[in-house]
């Protein structure tokens, strides 16, 4: 079953986020990312939240092993990443 990954980080320049996500879009798809969205906080547009659905936690980790260092080098985060991997619960769903 797929997992939802949330990653929040403060960046210095949002243009770097756009460059990093554009560079690795195809690679992420190949490694098991179903979709990815990037959100910016209303009060601080350099506070960035990534939402991604992956085949599995292992697929997410493998992607990080393959290109994580370069992704961070492009992104140049101004703070620490806050990553959480979420598994779908058995609570009632709204569709």
Instruction: Give the ranges where the chain is alpha helix by DSSP (H).
Output: 14-30, 57-75
What are the Cα distances from residue 71, in Å, to 1, 16, 36, 39, 77?
26, 9, 15, 17, 10
State both tokens at 45: 């547009």
State both tokens at 15: 């243009």
What's this model's pTM, rounded to 2 decimal places? Answer: 0.92
Say whether pLDDT at 1 is over 90: no
14-37 in b/e burial notation, b at 16+ Cβ within 10 A? eebbeebbeebeeebeebbbeebe
Domains within the chain, CATH numbers bracketed? 3-87 (3.30.70.100)
User: What is the tens place of the pLDDT at every residue in 59-79?
Assistant: 999 999 999 999 999 999 999
User: What is the tens place of the pLDDT at every residue in 5-44?
Assistant: 999 999 999 999 999 999 999 999 999 999 999 999 999 9
């Amino acid at each position: 079953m797929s997992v939802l990954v949330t990653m929040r980080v403060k960046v210095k320049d949002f243009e770097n986020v756009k460059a990093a996500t554009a560079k690795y879009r195809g690679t992420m798809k190949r490694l098991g990312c179903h979709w990815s969205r990037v959100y910016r906080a209303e009060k601080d547009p350099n506070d960035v939240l990534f939402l991604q659905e992956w085949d599995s936690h292992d697929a997410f980790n493998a992607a990080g092993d393959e290109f994580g260092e370069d992704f961070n080098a492009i992104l140049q985060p101004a703070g620490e990443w806050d990553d959480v991997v979420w598994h779908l619960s058995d609570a009632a769903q709204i569709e």
